[in-house]
Amino acid sequence: MKFYRSHVLIGIDDASLAAGVKEFEALLRSELAKNNLSEEINILETGTLGLFGTGVSMTVFPERITYVNLKITDVTEIVSEHFLKGRTVSRLTLKSPLKKNYDFNYKNRIVLSNSGKINPEDIKDYLAAGGYEGWEKALLEMKPTEIVEEVKASGLRGRGGAGFPAGLKWSFTAPLEKDQKYFVINADEGEPGTFKDRLIMEGDPHKLLEGVMIGSYAIGATKAYIYIRGEYKLCIHRLEIAIAQAYEYGIIGKNIFGSGFDLDIMIKIGAGAYVCGEETALIESMEGNRGNPRSKPPFPGVEGAWHLPTVVNNVETIANVSEIIKKGSAWFKGYGPEGCSGTKVFTIMGDVNLPGLCEVDMGTPLRTLIDEFGGGVTDGHQFKAALVGGAAGVFLPLERLDVNMDYNSLKEYSAVLGSGAILVMDERADIVEMLFSIIRFFRHESCGKCSPCSNGNTLLYQLIDKIRKGKGKEEDLDTMIEVSLVMQKTSFCALGQSPYMPIYSAITNFREDFLARMK
């Protein structure tokens, strides 16, 4: 292996690409070459560094100096100061107390433990970080039933929104004797404000694949699909590379490690439909149809893709599995409160100083997430509300800021964890307009299969549009709650059941805002 004086890790994800990371990297390379440093300084592309700054950021090892919000105009200074003279350009470094959280955060990571540290396009990096040890252990040392039991014991719950215990889901499908079963990953991340799965797949695609392998073996599926939304180009690209490498190394394919077990992993690409995040709609889409949800029961675990038993799990859920198998369920339960074990990836955005994501223990208070990981509410402004859980989430007011972010604690406030999206709004935010945006979203995404959802969302849209234009009456607020409640009780799938939560929470917590529009 070639020896370098320094290694520079540059995070490449959609956010840094949008900030011009490619131009920055190209210039950095040419500037290093100009100073004859190309042989001394190694530049590596990695996934997200998980930093709470937006823009281009990079970490220099072995010094472990992290630079953030880099501009093309900073390149000459970094090269001449840092790489030639060995002096840190402190004006560009990550500032404490954020630094403290960044380090602290890393220790607690499970699904993002490698993200920002390894090259996601090289399986050797993943192997060096202990990758595929869980798969080897599962396949060679454990029976499928033992794996199901271990995951059950870990208390791992679905991270896509519903929070259903993953091990329990597997236990319905594992004993069924069928010629073909399927293991499917729901990577159709479409909940507004959610981008955790994208960062997991971009930063460490092999971690997802390892979970897929273990899950497939546990339920007896020899074919696995990863259904990704068509907009996630970089994820698709990196997963394609990762799958090809896994075949090349004999980690998947025929008679894996001489065990007699065969597994093929394939990618399916969506084409822009929020409803396809619903598992039965996703299956319809996989089969080449419109993404209309199916009637349940039968549940997919019994009758799913091509009417055969199919387990559908979220990306983040499955990215936990390899570590659970490697380190045991007791270790996993060391994270988070009873009944909601493990960590959770939260995405924090809106009116905060540093939008981004973090992986923390389940049950971390909302206030901590916003203040410490989001850098606090935008300087000079006050917190007004947080929309937690995406469009299908809940508006939480100031009084709820100390809620612990886990399934059970949020349930006490009739709120949901959802996908872990936190949209922070300061006093300038207009709740009426935000609710309008949410209802417009549902109206657009309703698949039209059932009347409560398609007609209900249209009616809700007319009402909120009337209110925002100053033509509403107070009783319209009650009508909106009533209509959305009927939709929650009668809609065919989760999409039509969703508008009630944001509508109810917005109107009860911020009624004055709505009334002010009627004067």
Residue 246's Cβ-side half-sphere holds a number of Cα atoms within 13 Å equal to: 31
d(CA 367, CA 421): 14
CB of 185 to another protein, least distance (A): 16
Q: To the nearest 10°, report the CA torsion of 149, 268, 159, 169.
A: -30
CA-closest candidate to residue 224, choices 213, 233, 232: 213
- Pick one of 7, 95, 100, 233: the residue that binds another protein (CB under 8 A): 233
Residue 391 found at the interface with another protein (CB under 8 A): yes
Minimum CB separation of residue 202 from another protein in Å reads 10
Using CB under 8 A as the binding rule, whether residue 445 contacts another protein is answered as yes
**Rounded to the nearest whole angstrom, what is the least distance from the CB of residue 231 to another protein in the complex?**
6
Is 335 or 514 the residue whose CB approaches another protein more closely?
Answer: 514
What are the structure tokens assigned to 271, written together? Answer: 């084409």
The only residue of 325, 447, 477, 503 in contact with another protein, by rule CB under 8 A: 447
The one among 181, 198, 238, 400 contacting another protein by CB under 8 A: 198
Minimal distance, residue 239 CB to another protein, in Å: 15
**Minimum distance, C-beta of residue 93 to another protein, in the bound complex (Å):** 20
Instruction: Give the separation between CA 266 and CA 224, rounded to whole angstroms.
Output: 6
Closer by beta carbon to another protein, 123 or else 438: 438
Quick check: 425 binds another protein (CB under 8 A)?
Answer: yes
In the set 160, 205, 301, 355, which binds another protein (CB under 8 A)?
355
Q: Is 14 helix (H, G, I), strand (E, B) or coil?
A: helix
Q: State the DSSP string of 212-280.
A: HHHHHHHHT-SEEEEEE-TT-HHHHHHHHHHHHHHHHTTSSBSSGGGSS--BEEEEEE--S-GGGGSHH
CB within 8 Å of 258: residues ≥ 6 apart: none
Q: Which of 4, 6, 14, 137 binds another protein (CB under 8 A)?
A: 14
d(CA 420, CA 405): 9
Q: Is the peptide bond before 120 cis (omega within 30 degrees of 0)?
A: no
Q: Which is closer to another protein, CB of 314 or CB of 341?
A: 314
Only one of the segments 9-17, 39-47, 89-97, 363-371 lies at the binding site for another protein (rule: CB under 8 A); that segment is 9-17
Query: How many of the chain's residues bind another protein (CB under 8 A)?
Result: 56
496 CB-side CA count, 13 A:
24
Contact 221, 311 (CB under 8 A): yes
* Residues of span 32-61 touching another protein by CB under 8 A: 54
Nearest CB to another protein, comparing residues 166 and 357: 357
**Residue 230 structure tokens:** 């068509």
Question: Closer to another protein at the Cβ: 153 or 269?
Answer: 269
Q: Write the interaction track for another protein spanning residues 313-332; mark x where CB under 8 A is met and - where it is not.
A: --------------------
- 411 touches another protein (CB under 8 A): no
Helix 500-509 / helix 474-490 crossing angle, nearest 10 deg = 150
256-315 binders of another protein (CB under 8 A): 268-274, 285-291
Q: CB burial class (10 A; 0-12, 13-18, 19+) of residue 87?
A: exposed
Distance CA 161, CA 188 (A): 13
For residue 190, state whether it binds another protein (rule: CB under 8 A): yes
Q: To the nearest whole angstrom, how small is the minimum distance from the Cβ of residue 298 to another protein?
A: 20
Binding site residues, another protein, CB under 8 A = 14-15, 17-19, 54, 189-195, 198, 229-233, 268-274, 285-291, 347-351, 355-357, 387, 391, 421, 423, 425, 429, 433-434, 437-438, 440-441, 444-445, 447
